[in-house]
Amino acid sequence: MAPRTTKQFEEIRTERRAQILDAALHVFAEEGYHTASVSKIAKRASISKGLMYNYFTSKEELLKTIVLEIFEEVMEGMDMKPGEVLTKEKFIHTVHFGIDIAVNNPHRWKLYVSLTFQPDVMPVIMAEMMPHIQPYMKSLSEYFGKKNYDDPIAMMRIYSAMVDGIQMHCILDPENFPVQKAKQLIIDQFA
């Protein structure tokens, strides 16, 4: 019988990979990174534990991959060129996008935030992310500078904190949290 073509193999791998990542994300979100067991992830992905290790070298790599994937999605969605000066429209788009992404990906976001508070897992990942976040924070500071705030960096920090708080509540109680109103308040306050 003819062996599988390279393309067939690639398709299998791509699909399986996604399957595993999806399973991992859900199990991580449901139980937390440490409590989640590889067995459970494999079971949820309907594959054997061994196969998981054919795709990812460790439980930690699974985590890193998930976190970096959403991070890239965010950075891309923000669509901010390094050094770019924000217009009001762009700023407003940023607010909407930044909050919506948490609303639309509650699992991923929950995982992401929970990791921020787990001193043992994140340092490596955070270190990798920081350089990419810097320009975004700089753009924000400059935007606030343009608006004649006396301490634009402080404003940027407060703005970020408030958005993070809103994201948090969106995740923890998506049913009841008044997202739209919250966005409007942020925009009225900072834009």
Partner DNA sequence: GATGAATGAGCATTCATTCAT
Partner DNA sequence: TATGAATGAATGCTCATTCAT
- By the criterion CB under 7 A, which residues form the site for DNA? 1-4, 6, 8-9, 12-13, 16, 35-39, 47-51, 53-54, 57-60
- Identity at 15, one-letter amino acid code: E
For residue 163, give the nearest of 106, 82, 104, 102 by alpha carbon.
102
Distance from C-alpha of 103 to C-alpha of 140, rounded to nearest angstrom: 22
Question: According to the binding rule CB under 8 A, does residue 174 interact with a copy of itself?
Answer: no
Neighbours of 133 (CB within 10 A): 14
Question: According to the binding rule CB under 8 A, does residue 118 interact with a copy of itself?
Answer: yes
Kindly identify the residues of this chain, within the stretch 139-158, that bind a copy of itself according to CB under 8 A: 151, 154-155, 157-158
Closer Cβ to DNA, 10 or 73, answer by number = 10
Question: According to the binding rule CB under 8 A, does residue 168 interact with a copy of itself?
Answer: yes
For residue 183, give the nearest of 62, 122, 49, 92 by alpha carbon.
92
> Which residue in 22, 30, 100, 142 binds a copy of itself (CB under 8 A)?
30
Neighbours of 181 (CB within 10 A): 9
Question: According to the binding rule CB under 8 A, does residue 26 interact with a copy of itself?
Answer: no
Yes or no: say if 106 and 170 are a contact pair by the CB < 8 Å rule: yes
Question: According to the binding rule CB under 8 A, does residue 17 interact with a copy of itself?
Answer: no
Partner whose binding site includes residue 166, from a copy of itself, DNA, none (CB under 5 to 8 Å by kind) = a copy of itself
Q: Is 40 left (phi over 0), alpha (psi -120 to 50) or beta?
A: alpha
Kindly identify the residues of this chain, within the stretch 48-107, that bind a copy of itself according to CB under 8 A: none
State the residue for tokens 């060129």. Answer: 81
Question: According to the binding rule CB under 8 A, does residue 187 interact with a copy of itself?
Answer: no
Question: According to the binding rule CB under 8 A, does residue 177 interact with a copy of itself?
Answer: yes
CB of 70 to a copy of itself, least distance (A): 15
Q: Is 32 left (phi over 0), alpha (psi -120 to 50) or beta?
A: left
Judged by the rule CB under 8 A, the positions of this chain that interact with a copy of itself are: 29-32, 34-35, 110, 113-114, 116-121, 151, 154-155, 157-158, 160-166, 168-169, 172, 176-178, 181-182, 185, 189
